[in-house]
Amino acid sequence: MNSISSMNTTTTTTKASPMTETKISARSVQVYYGEKHALRDVSIEIRPRSVTAFIGPSGCGKSTFLRCLNRMNDTIDSCRVEGSILIDGENIYDPKVDPVQLRAKVGMVFQKPNPFPKSIYENVAYGPRIHGLARKKSELDDIVASSLQKAGLWNEVKDRLNESGTGLSGGQQQRLCIARAVAVSPEIILMDEPCSALDPIATAKVEELIHELRTNFTIVIVTHSMQQAARVSQRTAMFHLGLLVEENDTDKMFTNPDDQRTQDYIMGRFG
Amino acid sequence: MTDMTVSGASVAMPRTKSLLQLDERTRRRNASEARFRMIGFLAVLIGVFALVFLLGSILSNGLSSFRQTYISLDIFLDPARLDKAGTRDPAELAKITTFSYAPLIEKALADAMAAKGVSGDGVSVKAAAELISKEAPADLRRYVLAHPQAIGTKVNFDLLASGRIDGYYKGRVTMESAELDRNISPAQLQLADKLKAAGILGTHFNWGFFTAPDASDTRPEASGLGVAILGSAYMMIIVLVLSLPLGVASSIYLEEFAPQNRLTDLIEVNIANLAAVPSVVFGILGLAAFINFAGLPQSAPVVGGLVLTLMTLPTIIIATRAALKSVPPSIRDAALGVGASKMQAIFHHVLPLAMPGILTGTIIGLARALGETAPLLLIGMVAFVRDYPAGPPEGFFDPASALPVQVYNWTQRGDPAFIERASGAIIVLLVFLILMNLSAIILRRRYERRW
């Protein structure tokens, strides 16, 4: 039921701006941590089934903004969000929205791989189980298998699903976390520097995976590596001191940015 | 930068050329390190010495209480004395007092001495019977009431020897001290030696110490920890059942749900203060709130359990909150990230990971409650209790004693035999405490997980 109504709103927004489709639309978002003004007036449109990268120096607010997209900031007492963020035309900061339901639709992968200290199977099955996505054990098995396949981990772990998820290597753990996020069939996946704790080979695998996931999911990724942003994303947004400095096609961003600060950051003059 | 350090160092402290030669500064640093190690080692040594001395004195005083001197007699349960009507009617049997049983024991002793050829040597039969505890006729009566069909037969009994005789074989009573003692004479001690040689008198393991109730001042040999162990067990059940859920629930609320404001700050400070309140104060609280106000019975495990619960709660809350805090936030994020509610994140992921810490804190808190004496004195658990409390839950309201209170109680008695009993009770208490701490360690090892 819900998906039908959201599809309708998607079509209306598409009609309103026929040039580009929009999955997420942030309108003058302000974020405060207590007295600190962490994000100033951020407005951005994010396209469906594409990868959008957020870049910028440390402390610029890119992770803060990412965590606004599935309301993970709610867990921080001092954090206050103003403005509106629309996903499929619905404001996720509407008082009627339950963040739990939102997070089933907007999955997240964190900076440090954080599998539950349980078996690989349990790690992936947990989400579908609490959302009641499987009625039978066999259905749950199918979800676990297909999620691990989508995360490119199936061949490595299919024989040891009952072993602990924390026993995997760092790269495998991160792909397990991606499988866990994929298992609840979200529409959007947020990734907060997913490769910062991984070695180059594991990073390459995760990047390849992001590339494949793009066909089904809208992906927003925060990264410190500009090469990574250039490799995986179609659109890039540059944050600096709580401001969204520039948002552009990735190709243009890294060759001929509109803003001087983006130019400086990409050239390595600061950050 | 480099220039500065080189010039600075060369001015202040000229370095020796060779690495094989220690300079003055290094020598002083090494000396102070050696001094510190020495002090630390000494401190540990003093602690170990104190512990060894403590355990040594308790064990040397108390271990003997686990063995007891008995006199083994074949007693004819004479129907002419015990059941004149011959009906074996329990109501009639109950009317026969211990006075009727004492002659049976006297006669059995005289018969045994005659059969084994032990001569009294001026010790009258009455004086010989004084070797046997005053508790023996009561034990015999209890047996007969439980087994009425045994009347008319000869039954072998291990009767308790009197406290003085028991003390004689444990080195507490000597021939010299017996000269001055109203309760025993050297002739009686000599008779005891003869009985021992004849195999009538002997020493074996003292089960009664764990099962018998307390006994009066004149019968230390009959006193046991039965009621105290039962009372302590009842209190521990109450403490566990009340304080674990209450403590864990309030910790979860304070740690995970409560907003950070003045009120919660005040509550936190008060919990920390409550943990530091002397236990006697909890006793006063228990007396005022549970006995005077709520009207619960005195000396009852339920009141003791409630008071100890109040005392244990802060410990459990502090331990539980520390355990919850030590679960990395990434686990919470992971659960919330796949759409778990806060409640689900806590109960499915955080709580299982915090469990070893919670259980350890709970068991340590329980162990502290088990050894607590002062509050129990104030709520009347120091009373002399000879009747076993009933089974739970009614038994929670019956008068009972507690292990540490029994220790305190026995150290107040006049007869030196009770010092041995008190030390024995301390050993029992320590064994329980060690077992509890051991289970805390085992639980911690078993459920400790890495993440």
A114 and B331 within 8 Å at the Cβ level: the answer is yes
pLDDT at B11 (0 to 100): 53
Region class of A218: left (phi > 0), else alpha (psi between -120 and 50), else beta: beta
**Cα–Cα dist A267/A261, whole Å:** 10
Rg of chain A in Å (alpha carbons): 19
B363-388 average pLDDT score: 88
Residue A55 has pLDDT above 80, yes or no: yes
Nearest to B337 among A110, A112, A130 (CB): A110
Give whichever of A202-206, B128-132, B380-384 has the largest mean pLDDT: A202-206
Give the phi and the psi of residue B54 in degrees, each rounded to 5.
-60, -55
Give the phi and the psi of residue A30 in degrees, each rounded to 5.
-115, 135
**Cα–Cα dist B71/B254, whole Å:** 62
Which pLDDT tens digit goes with each residue over B27-82? Answer: 999 999 999 999 999 999 999 999 999 999 999 988 888 999 999 888 888 888 88
pLDDT at B252 (0 to 100): 94
Give the phi and the psi of residue A82 in degrees, each rounded to 5.
-120, 165
Q: How many CB pairs under 8 A join A and B?
A: 67
Confidence grade of residue B125 (pLDDT, cut at 50, 70, 90):
confident
Three-state SS at A29:
strand
Least confident of A143-157, A244-258, B194-208, B341-355: B194-208
Q: How many CA atoms lie within 13 A of B338 on its CB side?
A: 34
Closest CA to A173 of A143, A130, A206: A206
The CATH number given to A2-266 is: 3.40.50.300
Confidence grade of residue A49 (pLDDT, cut at 50, 70, 90):
very high
Which pLDDT tens digit goes with each residue over B242-287? Answer: 999 999 999 999 998 888 889 999 999 999 999 899 999 999 999 9
**Cα–Cα dist A29/A41, whole Å:** 5
pLDDT at B4 (0 to 100): 46
Residue B13 has pLDDT above 70, yes or no: no
Least confident of A242-256, B59-73, B116-130: B116-130
Residue A241 has pLDDT above 70, yes or no: yes
pLDDT at A12 (0 to 100): 40
pLDDT at A9 (0 to 100): 42
Domains of chain B from N-terminus onward: 67-205 (no CATH), 226-447 (1.10.3720.10)
pLDDT at A17 (0 to 100): 42
Q: Which residues of B touch A177 (CB under 8 A)?
A: 334
pLDDT at B218 (0 to 100): 84
Q: Domains of chain A: which residue ranges?
A: 2-266
Residue appearing with tokens 């089934």: A49
Give whichever of A134-138, B93-97, B150-154 has the largest mean pLDDT: A134-138
Could you tell me the CA-to-CA distances from B129 to B80, B118, B161, B424 in Å, in that order? 21, 14, 10, 28
Residue B207 has pLDDT above 70, yes or no: yes
B197-218 average pLDDT score: 88
B335 and A116 within 8 Å at the Cβ level: the answer is yes
Which pLDDT tens digit goes with each residue over B302-314? Answer: 999 999 999 999 9
pLDDT at A193 (0 to 100): 93
**Cα–Cα dist B404/B367, whole Å:** 12
**Cα–Cα dist A213/A178, whole Å:** 10
**Cα–Cα dist B355/B324, whole Å:** 9
Using an 8 Å CB-CB cutoff, list residues of chain B that contact chain A: 259-260, 328, 330-341, 344, 348-349, 353, 449-451
B256 touches B264 (CB < 8 A): no
Q: What ranges make up the beta strands (E) of A161-201?
A: 188-192
- Tally Cβ neighbours within 10 Å of residue A259: 15
A56 touches chain B (CB under 8 A): no
Q: Which residues of B touch A181 (CB under 8 A)?
A: 337-338
The ipTM is 0.85
Q: Which residues of A touch B338 (CB under 8 A)?
A: 103-104, 107, 126-127, 130, 180-181, 183-184
Residue B8 has pLDDT above 80, yes or no: no
Q: How far is the first Cα of chain A from the last one, in angstroms, to the nearest whole number? A: 46
Min Cα distance A204 → chain B (Å) is 23
B222 touches B421 (CB < 8 A): no
Residues 6+ apart with CB under 8 A from B200: B71, B72, B73, B112, B113, B116, B118
pLDDT at A271 (0 to 100): 62
A177 and B348 within 8 Å at the Cβ level: the answer is no
A169-183 average pLDDT score: 93
A100 and B353 within 8 Å at the Cβ level: the answer is no
Min Cα distance A186 → chain B (Å) is 9
Mutate to test the interface with B, among A109, A130, A184 (most CBs of B within 10 A): A130
pLDDT at A195 (0 to 100): 92
Residue B144 has pLDDT above 90, yes or no: no
Q: Which residues of B touch A100 (CB under 8 A)?
A: 339-341
Could you tell me the CA-to-CA distances from B264 to B185, B253, B276, B321, B322 in Å, in that order? 71, 10, 19, 14, 16
**Cα–Cα dist A232/A230, whole Å:** 6
Nearest to A104 among B339, B353, B449 (CB): B339
A74-95 average pLDDT score: 91
Question: How high does pLDDT run on average in chain B?
Answer: 87
Crossing angle between the packed helical segments A120-130 and A137-150, to the nearest 10 degrees = 110
Mutate to test the interface with A, among B326, B338, B350 (most CBs of A within 10 A): B338
Could you tell me the CA-to-CA distances from A206 to A112, A178, A196, A211 in Å, in that order? 13, 9, 11, 9
Give whichever of A101-115, B183-197, B203-217 has the largest mean pLDDT: A101-115
Min Cα distance B375 → chain A (Å) is 41
Residue appearing with tokens 């979800």: A143
Question: How high does pLDDT run on average in chain A?
Answer: 88
The DSSP string of B196-214 is HHTTSEEEEE-THHHHS--
pLDDT at B7 (0 to 100): 46
Residues 6+ apart with CB under 8 A from B275: B314, B315, B318
Amino acid at B386: R
Residue A19 has pLDDT above 60, yes or no: no
B398 touches B383 (CB < 8 A): no
Tokens matching residue B189: 């001690």
B394 touches B196 (CB < 8 A): no
pLDDT at A232 (0 to 100): 94
Residue B127 has pLDDT above 60, yes or no: yes
**Cα–Cα dist A233/A210, whole Å:** 9
Min Cα distance B444 → chain A (Å) is 16
pLDDT at B445 (0 to 100): 83
Tokens matching residue A2: 């819900």
Confidence grade of residue B333 (pLDDT, cut at 50, 70, 90):
very high
Percent of chain A clearing pLDDT 70 (strictly above): 92
Min Cα distance B241 → chain A (Å) is 29
**Cα–Cα dist B417/A266, whole Å:** 89
Q: Which residues of B touch A166 (CB under 8 A)?
A: 450-451
A197-218 average pLDDT score: 91
Amino acid at A160: R
Which pLDDT tens digit goes with each residue over B169-193? Answer: 888 888 888 888 888 888 888 888 8
C-alpha dihedral sign at B204, B206, B208, B214: positive
